[in-house]
């Protein structure tokens, strides 16, 4: 029975009485019909290790040349058939080559994936990622052979996980049925391969998946508060982890006018999330991420086309939290603090205006000339907070900061800015090894001109067409102490893949987790 309008009146009156007039309600408005949940968002094959391939599995053979590996488990006749096919096709096992065969013995399929004779760990992961994507529709179980060491087998497991990722939870029917059969990574010492995987790559796989899921979720679902909830969920049960959250009132008390200002046009409250993983003593490495859960541009509103990917504008924040998750999950002997500067940038009657002047935590003032240059604002308060609160031995910030970085480097490289050549070398080495490359762009006092304000200490944007990525980096530098080792990564170009690559299916790449995970494992405080 439906209530008459009359019987609703007392409720309405009560609701009105409890509503402070003129004050925007901090009620998040959810997308219609969509609610938060924990259901598996990415149906995937289980990945396990064994010393031989199951007899009924589609066989993936990682080839460093034309010689079939000993553990392929093929009979003499089957090997001869594969060799004949290789000759006919001109397949030589070179990097990035592959050959798919059917009708070999009772195998549903034999997929040869070349890595070349100089193959690195990354090449083995990439080969497995290639297999994961090629065998998406394969109903049979899968086995991967030709992995020369336990470590390389663990890399292949990671590659398979990264390559098979998908996000289907808002499709009524998935594009393809979920693969039910597992994948077996074959290595003679399966226990050693499993142990190596558990000690490192399992964490990276979980961290990247966490990041991709968060970015894929619609911005009606992921906003600062729900970002925090998801983080708490992901870290539940892990040891040596501390999660601290500042809400807007706390940030105001600390004088974080820049971070609070950015979120001021949104009914969803801003947050500063800090995840500490203490797997070692000594000063921590601070990882600070831009976490704009949706960037409309604010009053300096973006065009429709420019706004469409802006749910991914929290990719930096997701990357630092995903990195902490990887390190904590694997109990890495490191001390890191991941800081996510979370806000939603929306136009509103209460939104900040071009022309406003705000004050950051450390006292510096900023003239807002463009509300769409919001990432540097939230980072300004976040880097000052972590420097003061935790005295890290170094700070790395990562952000989808400028279209300019993306225009300069495309999806191939993230832009790296640092004052210190040794830090640049450190990044170069790690980035090449894990396949998340960076390219150094200039950080120079000349860019001071671009952010000079007539009425405040700095302004938040240069005049276009400015060297946007360098101006942004220079702006952030103004909030970092001169003697603090520091790097800034502008990952605007690498956050999203338009087309699939072996380790990054089309969509959010999860860029940053592999890079920062590897960096944190070897960059420690001098004791
Ligand atoms: N989130 C954007 C940058 C961005 C653009 C990331 C495209 C990924 C893809 C950032 O907040 C922004 O709007 N930057 C402005 C800065 C400008 C106003 C100084 C830009 O790059 O145009
Ligand atoms: Mn913006
Ligand atoms: Zn942004």
Distance 304 CA to ligand 1 centre (A): 14
Residues within 6 Å of ligand 1 by CB: 295, 309, 313, 370, 372-375, 400, 402-404, 406, 461, 468, 492
**364 and 503, same structural domain?**
yes
Angle between helices 421-434 and 513-522 (to 10 degrees): 120
CATH of the domain at 210: 3.40.630.10
**258 and 155, same structural domain?**
no
Best residue for ligand 1 mutational test, from 372, 461, 475 (most atoms within 8 Å of Cβ): 372
Active site residue 302: yes
Residue 527 placed within a domain? no
The per-residue b/e assignment along 278-310, b for 16 or more CB within 10 angstroms, e otherwise, is bbeeebbbbbbbbbbbbbbbbbbbbeeeeeebb
Q: What is the pLDDT of residue 274?
A: 98
Residue 401 placed within a domain? yes
The ligand 1 atom at the shortest distance from the C-alpha of residue 460 is: 19
Residue 152 placed within a domain? yes
Task: Please give the average pLDDT of every successive group of 10 residues along the chain, which has 527 residues.
Answer: 45 47 45 50 86 97 97 94 98 97 95 98 98 94 98 98 94 69 97 98 98 97 98 98 98 98 98 98 98 98 96 99 98 98 98 98 97 98 98 98 97 97 98 97 92 96 81 97 98 98 98 98 86
**442 and 315, same structural domain?**
yes
CATH of the domain at 78: 3.40.220.10
**65 and 130, same structural domain?**
yes
Distance 479 CA to ligand 1 centre (A): 20
Domain extent at residue 98:
47-165+179-189
**214 and 159, same structural domain?**
no
Number of domains in the chain: 2
**417 and 321, same structural domain?**
yes
Best residue for ligand 1 mutational test, from 343, 403, 463 (most atoms within 8 Å of Cβ): 403
Phi and psi (nearest 5°) for 490?
-100, 105
**446 and 397, same structural domain?**
yes
Residue 474 placed within a domain? yes
Can you tell me which residue has the tokens 């203490």?
A: 278
**117 and 215, same structural domain?**
no
Residue 374 placed within a domain? yes
Q: What is the pLDDT of residue 32?
A: 53
- Is 362 within 8 Å of 387 (Cβ atoms)? no
**120 and 264, same structural domain?**
no
**253 and 358, same structural domain?**
yes
Residue 260 placed within a domain? yes
- The reported pTM is 0.93
Residue 173 placed within a domain? no
**298 and 247, same structural domain?**
yes
**497 and 359, same structural domain?**
yes
Q: Which ligand is nearest to the CA of 495?
A: 1
Q: How far is CA 148 from CA 112, 239, 434, 489, in A?
A: 16, 34, 19, 35
From the list 302, 331, 364, 524, the catalytic residue is 302
Q: What is the pLDDT of residue 6?
A: 46
């Amino acid at each position: 029975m439906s209530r008459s309008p009359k019987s609703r009146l007392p409720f309405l009156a009560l609701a009105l009485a409890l509503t402070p007039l003129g004050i925007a309600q901090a009620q998040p408005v959810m997308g219609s019909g969509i609610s938060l949940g924990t259901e598996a968002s990415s149906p995937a094959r289980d990945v396990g290790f064994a010393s031989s391939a199951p007899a009924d599995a589609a066989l993936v053979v990682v080839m460093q040349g034309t010689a079939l590996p000993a553990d392929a488990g093929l009979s003499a006749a089957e090997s001869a058939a594969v060799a004949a096919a290789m000759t006919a096709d001109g397949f030589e096992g070179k990097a990035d080559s592959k050959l798919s065969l059917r009708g070999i013995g009772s195998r549903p399929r034999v997929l040869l994936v070349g890595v070349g004779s100089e193959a690195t760990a990354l090449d083995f992961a990439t080969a497995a990622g290639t297999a994961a994507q090629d065998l998406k529709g394969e109903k049979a179980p899968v086995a991967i052979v030709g992995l020369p060491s336990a470590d390389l087998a663990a890399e292949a497991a990671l590659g398979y996980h990264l390559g098979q990722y998908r996000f289907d939870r808002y499709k009524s029917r998935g594009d393809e049925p979920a693969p039910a059969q597992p994948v077996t990574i074959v290595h003679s010492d399966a226990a050693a391969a499993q142990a190596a995987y558990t000690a490192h790559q399992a964490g990276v796989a979980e961290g990247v998946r966490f990041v991709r899921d968060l970015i894929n979720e619609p911005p009606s679902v992921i906003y600062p508060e729900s970002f925090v909830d998801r983080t708490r969920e992901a870290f539940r049960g892990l040891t040596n982890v501390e999660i601290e959250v500042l809400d807007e009132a706390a940030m105001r008390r600390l004088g974080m006018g820049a971070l609070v200002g950015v979120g001021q046009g949104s009914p969803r409250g801003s947050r500063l999330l800090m995840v500490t993983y203490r797997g070692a003593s000594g000063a921590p490495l601070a990882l600070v991420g831009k976490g704009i859960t949706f960037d409309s541009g604010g009053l300096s509103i973006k065009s429709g086309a420019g706004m469409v990917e802006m749910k991914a504008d929290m990719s930096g924040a997701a990357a630092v939290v995903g990195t902490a998750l990887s390190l904590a999950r694997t109990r890495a002997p490191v001390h890191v603090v991941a800081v996510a500067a979370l806000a939603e940038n929306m136009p509103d009657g209460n939104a900040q205006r071009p022309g406003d002047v705000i004050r950051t935590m450390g006292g510096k003032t900023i003239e807002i000339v463009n509300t769409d240059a919001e990432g540097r604002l939230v980072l300004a308060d976040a880097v000052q907070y972590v420097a003061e609160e935790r005295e890290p031995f170094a700070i790395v910030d990562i952000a989808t900061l400028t279209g300019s970085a993306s225009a300069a480097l495309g999806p191939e490289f993230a832009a790296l800015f640092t004052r210190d050549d040794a830090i640049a070398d450190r990044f170069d080495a790690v980035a090449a090894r894990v396949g998340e490359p960076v390219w150094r762009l200039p950080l120079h006092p000349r860019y001071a001109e671009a952010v000079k304000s007539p009425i405040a200490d700095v302004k938040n944007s240069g005049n276009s067409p400015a060297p946007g990525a360098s101006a942004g980096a220079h702006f952030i530098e103004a909030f970092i102490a001169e003697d603090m080792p520091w790097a800034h990564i502008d990952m605007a170009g690498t956050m999203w893949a338009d087309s699939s690559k072996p380790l990054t299916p089309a969509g959010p790449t999860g860029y940053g987790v592999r890079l920062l995970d590897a960096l944190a494992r070897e960059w420690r405080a001098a004791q």
